[in-house]
Chains A and B, each alone.
Chain A
């Protein structure tokens, strides 16, 4: 009887030792978020195919099927310094949009931002840097329509050299920017900049 118990305890001990070692090893080795390659950079000229603008309507959800994003959107404002605030970091699967700006689908540049990670690990836009040109971004809007955007470019910009006009500047057609942190990480200063996805409206439903 003792023998059976001992064997079971020995087995559990070995299993616990192995899983403990693996958990500690694997837990210490999480990976940096993917960064876009040069091939995803903006090419000269703009894609001529653009869908007609939609009337203004606030968005309530963003989906990027190719990287598994499906998240609600909260309204974002500006910080006192004039930069875009980030959505609350405690909720991993939450993105935001700049609510004093263009609504996604109307003419102009709409801005969506979300966290690449929070203190617990990867967050809603962790995989944004892996997005490719031509990928689809869908934004559900409160008027019941869904704005469909196509990715034109995925770029990385350093915080100290951020091209405001390129990213936030007015556009003559409906465009979308999706922003998260990226561009390398240092323990002292955090992420060095932002991954920015450029997209324009190519349809709606």
Chain B
């Protein structure tokens, strides 16, 4: 009897595992500091934004690395984003600078890189050719479903074997 109970519990677990949801939850955008454009020339206006400070928050921005001083990031109509901007000083030297923002609440610090180049390198070069945006994973067998199917068949085999074993012993079925 105990054996039956154990087997039943095991089977129930296996069936639950098989039929459980296969969905992968979307984890949400991580809390870095987005810098746009990430490559600028002296005199450009640069926008930064982050979702790390919560929907109601504000943040103190610091672009003093590039000589642009402090600025404020304020909430936008987009849930979760605070956004601010600064101007790259005309005297800024070429290089990579760390732009920092610190949430007013909780003090969380996020940062992003700004690359300053001496001349307007960003005359807009359009992309060329096709884009590699698929691997065929929607076409082949679904590995999760296949594994689940194999597990379910294993459960069936175990159950069947056990029943046959009982019958062979002459127990009434």
Binding site for B on A (CB under 8 A): 1-3, 5-6, 8-10, 12-17, 19-28, 30-33, 57-58, 60-61, 72, 75, 78, 81-84, 86, 89, 91-93, 98-102, 108-109, 111, 113-123, 125-126, 140, 142-144, 157, 159, 162, 164, 168-170, 179-182, 185, 187, 190-191, 193-194
Assembly CA distance A157 to B143 (angstroms) = 30
**Are A23 and B18 in touch, CB under 8 angstroms?**
yes
> Is B52 located at the chain interface by the 8 A CB criterion?
no
Assembly CA distance A60 to B143 (angstroms) = 32
Assembly CA distance A143 to B153 (angstroms) = 55
> Is B72 located at the chain interface by the 8 A CB criterion?
no
Select one of B5, B39, B126, B138 contacting A126, CB under 8 A: B138
Assembly CA distance A139 to B63 (angstroms) = 28
With a CB–CB cut-off of 8 A, which chain A residues contact B129? 81-83, 159, 162, 164
For B141-167 the 0/1 string (1 means CB < 8 A from A) is 111111011111111100110110010
With a CB–CB cut-off of 8 A, which chain A residues contact B124? 100-102, 108
Assembly CA distance A108 to B123 (angstroms) = 13
Query: In the complex, what's the smallest C-beta–C-beta distance from A59 to chain B, in angstroms?
Result: 10
**Are B153 and A16 in touch, CB under 8 angstroms?**
yes
**Are A121 and B138 in touch, CB under 8 angstroms?**
yes
Assembly CA distance A170 to B127 (angstroms) = 12
Residue of A nearest to B24 (CB): A92
**Are B150 and A20 in touch, CB under 8 angstroms?**
yes
Select one of B18, B36, B153, B155 contacting A21, CB under 8 A: B153
With a CB–CB cut-off of 8 A, which chain A residues contact B27? 91
For the A-B complex with A9-B163, A185-B134 known, give 15 more contacts whose Cβ atoms are closer than 8 Å: A9-B11, A9-B162, A10-B159, A24-B150, A32-B139, A99-B36, A100-B37, A100-B122, A101-B126, A120-B144, A122-B138, A143-B76, A144-B77, A164-B126, A169-B126
With a CB–CB cut-off of 8 A, which chain B residues contact A86? 131-133
**Are A99 and B38 in touch, CB under 8 angstroms?**
yes
**Are B78 and A61 in touch, CB under 8 angstroms?**
yes
Select one of B125, B126, B134, B148 contacting A116, CB under 8 A: B134
> Is B81 located at the chain interface by the 8 A CB criterion?
yes
- Listed from nearest, the 3 A-B pairs whose CB atoms lie closest are A27-B145, A13-B159, A181-B134
> Which chain B residues numbered 1 to 28 have a C-beta less than 8 Å away from chain A?
1, 4-5, 7-8, 11-12, 14-15, 18-19, 24, 26-27
**Are A157 and B130 in touch, CB under 8 angstroms?**
yes
With a CB–CB cut-off of 8 A, which chain B residues contact A180? 131, 133-134
